[in-house]
Amino acid sequence: MPKRKIVRIDEEKCNGCGLCVTPCAEGAIQIVDGKARVLREELCDGAGFCLPLCPQGALSLEEREAPAFDAQAAAVAAAQRPAGTEITCFKCGTGEQSSALIPVRIKGESLWVCTHCLPQLIHG
């Protein structure tokens, strides 16, 4: 099995809040028995978009042996995400299908902001 970058979850730090589940567009992360787990490693692309959303610092990227990323399976999983779990901009509500969204940390919260609203955050 080849080595590649993939998400690592520190079980000691994870409190099972679930904030990392929805942002994982590929659906690789699920909560099992109160802890986040990468259930299907082939769905994790190792991009690390979930990392800044974890309030516990439980997520990191590591290089290890893992099944190759399966883009086709990830696209199928993304298309099957339940209604109402689309990621939206916390300021204007624009969804990920309409605009590029960027994870931000504000006052201890992990949020998503669209590229239209981001300048307002930077410049006030």
62 or 92: whose CB is closer to ligand SF4? 62
Question: Residues 5, 68: contact at Cβ < 8 Å?
Answer: no
Contacting range for ligand SF4; rule: CB under 6 A; set: 14-22, 77-85, 91-99, 113-121: 14-22
CA distances from 114 to 47, 49, 59, 77, 91 (A): 19, 15, 23, 23, 8
Q: How far is the CB of 37 from ligand SF4 (least distance, A)?
A: 9
Scan for tokens 């099957």, then name that residue. 80
51 or 98: whose CB is closer to ligand SF4? 51
Which of 6, 25, 54, 77 touches ligand SF4 (CB under 6 A)?
A: 54
By CB under 6 A, residue 58 contacts ligand SF4: yes
Largest CA distance in the chain: 49
Cα 23–chain centre separation: 3
CA separation for the pair 46, 69 (Å, rounded) = 8
By CB under 6 A, residue 87 contacts ligand SF4: no
Binding mask 27-46 for ligand SF4 (x = CB under 6 A): ---------x----------
